[in-house]
Amino acid sequence: MAKNGTNSEAYTTPLRRLLLAVVVLCLLGLFFVWRIDSPRVERFRAVVIDTVIPSFDWAMAPVTATVNLARDFRSYQRIYEQNQELRRELRQMTAWKEAALQLEQENAKLRDLNNVRLDPRLTYITGVVLADSGSPFRQSVLINVGSRDGIVDGWATMDGTGLVGRISGVGANTSRVIMLTDATSRIPATIQPSGQRALIVGDNTSAPPIDFLEDPDQVRPGDRIVTSGDGEVFPPGLLIGQVAQDPGGRLRTRLAADYERLEFLRVLRDHGARRVSNPSALILPETPPAATDTAVAEPAD
């Protein structure tokens, strides 16, 4: 028995090494393929997630609900204070509501005079948040609508009030939303009322900094930030948040969307959005051959 064992070990060790080498090469190969041609591998990842996560869903929903219930229970302890606070806020809100109603009527009159039609293409699909990104280094959520529901890569996603992120990675039943706070997120924005253009650059904190601002002097804390529609990334005019200043004097975004509690997300249908299907499409124009053809043809004429 023991002799038999040492024999088989003599055979298995080189085999094991071979297996290890093959496994390591495969994994490294996958990593480099991902680095070179990431859309294809990311599509594969979307398929994997699409098959695995929905099977977790039956357990995820009750566990999440239980933890949230426990959290809410803790907040009951100061329910009286909260009640007072809410009453105060409600009084302020009624004043605002009155103002808003008057403005709405005025707005309607002006629209009527101008004959403005709101863009009817901008409708939305609502999805439920299924899962987190699972890693503190990435900021994204998975929602339960996918290509089956007509979701396309690149569409904007909002909660009730503000922009949350961008669809990136669509499976049949799920799709991933890369949030504005993710370190890879760059969103062109306009700051109202000065009309300054800037980029909202995610850096893995809850208040993404404002970068590439033309003239910081014209921007004050409290100004509204909306999407600018530059580069056909998002439809223009979606609310992102407000300008805030951190103790270091850097301008940051206080996001309008409530990131603490994302439960339902709206995906805005945007048929004018630019689609990125191959890796070079981000840098190169979609139809370079036509342009070069005319350039070549002209000297020949």
Partner 1 sequence: MDIGLLKLWGMRLLFILTAFVVLFFHLLPLNPAPSHWAGPDVLVAMVFAWAVRRPDYVPVLLVAAVMLLADMLLQRPPGLWSVLVVCATEWLKSRERRQRETTFVLEWLTFAGTFIVITILYRAVMMILILVPGTLTLSLVQVVLTIAVYPIVVVVSYFLFGVRRSAPGDMDRLGRTQ
Using the rule CB under 8 A, is 12 a contact of partner 1? Answer: yes
Rounded to whole angstroms, the Cα distance separating 168 from 265 reads 14
Whichever of 139 and 228 has its CB closer to partner 1, that residue is 139
List, in sequence order, every residue forming a beta bridge with 177; answer none if it has no partner: 141, 167
Using the rule CB under 8 A, is 158 a contact of partner 1? Answer: no
Strand (E) or helix (H) holding 126: strand 124-132
Using the rule CB under 8 A, is 23 a contact of partner 1? Answer: yes
Whichever of 201 and 219 has its CB closer to partner 1, that residue is 201
Rounded to whole angstroms, the Cα distance separating 230 from 243 reads 19
- Minimum separation from the CB atom of position 248 to partner 1 (A): 16
Which span sits near partner 1 by CB under 8 A: 87-95, 139-147, 213-221, 233-241? 139-147
- Strands 196-201 and 186-192 come out as antiparallel
> 80-96 burial, b for 16+ CB within 10 Å, e for fewer?
eeeeeeeeeeeeeeeee
Using the rule CB under 8 A, is 282 a contact of partner 1? Answer: no
List, in sequence order, every residue forming a beta bridge with 8; answer none if it has no partner: none
Among 72, 81, 215, 260, binds partner 1 (CB under 8 A): 260
Judged by CB under 8 A, the number of residues near partner 1 is: 58
Using the rule CB under 8 A, is 70 a contact of partner 1? Answer: no
- Minimum separation from the CB atom of position 218 to partner 1 (A): 29
Rounded to whole angstroms, the Cα distance separating 257 from 111 reads 28
Among 127, 130, 175, 191, binds partner 1 (CB under 8 A): 130
Using the rule CB under 8 A, is 259 a contact of partner 1? Answer: yes
- Minimum separation from the CB atom of position 249 to partner 1 (A): 21
SS3 for 64-81 is HHHHHHHHHHHHHCCHHH
SS3 content of the chain, % helix, strand, coil (to 5): 45, 20, 30
Using the rule CB under 8 A, is 137 a contact of partner 1? Answer: yes
**Binders of partner 1 in range 99-128 (CB under 8 A):** none
Which span sits near partner 1 by CB under 8 A: 134-142, 209-217, 237-245, 287-295? 134-142
Which span sits near partner 1 by CB under 8 A: 109-117, 119-127, 136-144, 267-275? 136-144
Give the 3-state secondary structure of residue 248.
coil
Site of interaction with partner 1 (CB under 8 A):
1-2, 4-6, 8-9, 12, 16, 19-20, 23-24, 26-31, 34-35, 41, 45, 48-49, 52-53, 56, 59-60, 63-64, 67-68, 129-142, 179, 181, 183-184, 204-206, 259-260, 262
